[in-house]
Amino acid sequence: MRILKVNTYAPDTALYQAFGPDVVFDIHRDPSEPPSLDRCRAADAVINCSATLPIGVGAEHFERCRIAVREGVGYDTMDLAGWGARGVPVCNVPDYGTTEVADHALALLLALTRGTSSYQEAVRDRSDGWRYDAAPLVRRLRGQTFAVLGLGRIGLAAARRAAAFDMKVIFYDPYLPNGAELAAGYERVRRIEEVMARADILSIHTPLNDETRGMVGVDLLAKAKPGLIVINTARGPIVDLDALGEALKTARIAGAGLDVLPKEPADSDHPLIKAYRQREAWTEGRLMLSPHSAFYSPSALEDMQRKAIEVIVSYLREGVLMNCVNAEHMKRAPRAA
């Protein structure tokens, strides 16, 4: 079988070899241009490694392809309907880095509320930086309300971590069945407005889709409890960056920790990014960015690559389909593996 990997990181040849000589990899690393149509036509399976870039060639050009995999959790870059119309399942890799992302959400929160990043900069860069009050968002976390938007794998892992810091966890997730709150052991809030009114910290863990795009925008932020800190490790477009910037600037909210942005890498022309880079006083210690790195650890990167290939091999060798995310778009039965 021939697997075309697009938008790849450095290829891991040793890992590929473990799948045996009949699994042949065609690696397309250059994200600036799509793979040629000949390479797409020859592929039995395609893997898109990028969380932000699409494959670059329409599903209709993958004549032999039996399965398309997003090497990662979020599949908003995959054409679910286009593949589904051809009877091709789209699958993801949901479980390679759950704890890394949850850890990262808490790391952003702790860096802001324990001031570690501000202290580090003050002590290193300024002779008068030996001051406990150099970080504006330091607060007692015990007793704070940590609201999870989307109590899936990562949201639940983040909730467990927040609870371990003695925070009160609440969650909003309209797609979980009744009783999910009993299984999770956290309070379920049915109205998102109530979440905003009660949350000291809002940690976002929903997928990006038509419903969640721009969800945390002007309207919701206007309902925020004073002092809110927004943490986003899910997808950038879920938060309206203009609205968030305005809410930060006017102190409508206290702070934000963002691993993901609507435009990645960070758009230097966006007013909030500009202000952050120019170290405008109102951003200092209140806004923290990381480069869509929440998923990353060397272990996660290896798991992610291996599991993506396992999904393909399992389907093409044994007909066992795992992690299919476009079942509702399948206009016809999956093509024979």
Q: Which positions touch ligand NAI (CB under 6 A)?
A: 73-74, 94, 97-98, 101, 149-155, 172-176, 205-208, 211-212, 233-235, 259-260, 292, 294-295
> Phi/psi class of residue 166: alpha, beta or left (left: φ > 0; alpha: ψ in -120 to 50)?
left
Question: Is 235 a catalytic site residue?
Answer: yes
Beta carbon of residue 78, minimum distance to ligand NAI (angstroms, whole number): 12
Q: Please give the residue whose beta carbon sits closest to ligand NAI in the complex.
A: 152
Q: Which two tokens stand for residue 7?
A: 């938008």
Contacts of 104 (CB under 8 A, 6+ apart): 233, 259, 290, 293, 294
| Pairwise CA distance, residues 33 & 179, whole Å | 48
In this complex, which beta carbon is closest to ligand NAI, that of residue 35 or of residue 152? 152
Beta carbon of residue 35, minimum distance to ligand NAI (angstroms, whole number): 24
| Pairwise CA distance, residues 329 & 319, whole Å | 19
Beta carbon of residue 256, minimum distance to ligand NAI (angstroms, whole number): 15
Question: Is 292 a catalytic site residue?
Answer: yes
Beta carbon of residue 154, minimum distance to ligand NAI (angstroms, whole number): 3
In this complex, which beta carbon is closest to ligand NAI, that of residue 31 or of residue 207? 207
Candidates 335, 337, 300; CA nearest to 96 is: 300
Question: Is 252 a catalytic site residue?
Answer: no
Instruction: Indicate the pairing of strand 229-232 with strand 90-91.
Output: unpaired
| Pairwise CA distance, residues 233 & 153, whole Å | 13
CA quadruple 101, 107, 108, 113: dihedral, nearest 10: 150
Catalytic residue among 121, 194, 246, 264: 264
Task: Give the number of residues written for the chain.
Answer: 337
In this complex, which beta carbon is closest to ligand NAI, that of residue 265 or of residue 319? 265
| Pairwise CA distance, residues 144 & 237, whole Å | 26
In this complex, which beta carbon is closest to ligand NAI, that of residue 72 or of residue 245? 72
Beta carbon of residue 174, minimum distance to ligand NAI (angstroms, whole number): 6
In this complex, which beta carbon is closest to ligand NAI, that of residue 73 or of residue 312? 73
List residues with catalytic annotation: 235, 264, 292
